[in-house]
Amino acid sequence: MNTLQRKMKQDFESKALFDQARLYAFEYLDNIEDMDVFPSEKNLEGLNHFDVPLQQDTIDAKEVIHELNTFGAPGTIAQIGGKYHGFVNGGVVPASLGAKWLSDVWDQCGGLYLTSPVNAKLEEVCESWLKDIFDLPKETVAGFVSGTSMANLCGLAAARFQLLKNLGWDVHENGLNGAPNLRILAHQQVHASVKKTLAMLGYGKNSIEWLEADDQGRLVLDALPKLDNSCLVLLQAGNANTGSFDDFDTVCDIANEVGAWVHIDGAFGLWARATKALAYLTKGMEKASSWAVDGHKTLNTPYDSGIIMCRYPDAMISALQASGEYIIYSEQRDPLLYTPELSKRSRAIELWATMKYLGKDGIDQMVTTFYERAKQLATGLEEIGYQVINEVVFNQVLISCGSEENTKNVITCIQQSGEAWLGGTIWQGKPAIRISICSWMTNEKDIEDLISLFEKVRS
């Protein structure tokens, strides 16, 4: 054993390094409700401390962790607390964090059954639980990926493969040059990640049939042209601004009659299906061909959790392999068949832990509470004279303060207060404040505080 090996072995065995990391982590958790929701200027400047050339020598492991805690922790946003409402970022369920810690130590390569039997098993279990929660057809398969962007990519690759196959073209053998044209139909309010994904698959924005969306960001049904079996229709469960849902029931019926493919981007909204009160928003979604959803938003798993579900296993498995020869259905589940990756984190572990911990009722309650807090906020802000410009059907609230200047001013004041964080957006050509409720920690008091903050910063 050389000196370096001896040093590393000692670091593993003494565990002092891990104890230190644990203490810092506990300190962070204890402080989460009091820290600035977004780092102060001073703390952001502290990040410049990392700007040094890599030194020559090996250093002490505890020093590494110490430096990370001293300059890195103050440069974090309080993502896991109850006062961060930017974008649509979720918090983190305690059991999922614990499971991640434990499985980080296992460091499993999740690609094959052979490289991680436990991950393969938990993927299987998660797949079956998700099908149950979302009430999807029994033939549906799920792939566990980094987020909904990647889930969309997988779903649309499956759609491309299958639709072209139906038209007599093998896209893996022959590529896209000379392939029959697919008709891609999307409304103007699909998420940016969908546009990016389509472009990556060879369908740039000028090759899409753009359809009209209404003032909530839903497809206008009258705008839907006659479909055929070369059509891929993109729908959305949860518009990233308004939280609105497309009419899956109607569109899927039309699409299924002619053999078109419907993909639903449900990054955060698909979870409405897991509740009694809000499931109505997803009526008919089980009739689609593929669904993309995040664990790390509404379900509050740690980051790096997206899921693609597809009712046509052959299409998905074929689309994600370099060639048909790779398709070997082994006795056990080989996760790589369902994702573009080979080596990958065993991310099903945290997903499993989150669902196991919450149970069906816990998931229902957590998601429904986001909606209740969003309603509380919308009502409270209206009472003090702000204009709520969306129908609050899920967890998103859009606020207008009249002029562009006022809106920007309110956003800046709240962001700089350190007491909450929310972002701006442009809705229907006008600047708006966008608030997302999706951390389990956000409670009535946090919303009351946020309403007071809005009252205080009003110019």
Ligand X SMILES: *Cc1c(COP(=O)(O)O)cnc(C)c1O
Q: Out of 149, 162, 354, 395, point to the residue binding ligand X (CB under 6 A).
A: 149
Q: Out of 32, 88, 97, 122, point to the residue binding ligand X (CB under 6 A).
A: 88
The three-point CA angle 26-28-30 to 5° equals: 70
What's the rounded Cα separation, in Å, for the pair 304 and 299? 12
Query: Of 406, 410, 339, 394, nearest to 109 (Cα)?
Result: 339
Residue 329: Cβ within 10 Å count: 10
What's the rounded Cα separation, in Å, for the pair 183 and 230? 6
CB of 332 to ligand X, least distance (A): 28
- Of 88 and 433, which has the nearer Cβ to ligand X? 88
Q: Out of 100, 160, 183, 191, point to the residue binding ligand X (CB under 6 A).
A: 191
The three-point CA angle 419-424-425 to 5° equals: 155
Q: Out of 39, 90, 302, 306, point to the residue binding ligand X (CB under 6 A).
A: 306
Q: Does 148 bind ligand X (CB under 6 A)?
A: yes
CB of 241 to ligand X, least distance (A): 10
Q: Out of 136, 156, 240, 270, point to the residue binding ligand X (CB under 6 A).
A: 240
Contact predicate 161/318, CB 8 Å: yes
Q: Does 438 bind ligand X (CB under 6 A)?
A: no
b/e map of 165-196 (b: 16 or more CB within 10 Å)?
Answer: beeebebeeeeeeeeeebbbbbbebbbebbbe
- Of 236 and 407, which has the nearer Cβ to ligand X? 236
Q: Interface residues for ligand X in 243-272 (CB under 6 A)?
A: 265, 267-268
Which letter does DSSP use for residue 57 in this model?
S
CA 268 vs CA 135, 138, 229, 347, 394: distances in Å? 17, 23, 29, 18, 10
- Of 311 and 434, which has the nearer Cβ to ligand X? 434
Q: Out of 155, 217, 238, 243, point to the residue binding ligand X (CB under 6 A).
A: 238
- Of 294 and 334, which has the nearer Cβ to ligand X? 294
Q: Interface residues for ligand X in 382-421 (CB under 6 A)?
A: none
CB of 98 to ligand X, least distance (A): 22
- Site size for ligand X (CB under 6 A): 14
CB of 60 to ligand X, least distance (A): 36
The three-point CA angle 316-298-265 to 5° equals: 35
Q: Which two tokens stand for residue 415?
A: 């962001």
CB of 89 to ligand X, least distance (A): 9
Query: Which residues of this protein are in contact with ligand X, per CB under 6 A?
Result: 88, 147-149, 191, 193, 236, 238, 240, 265, 267-268, 294, 306
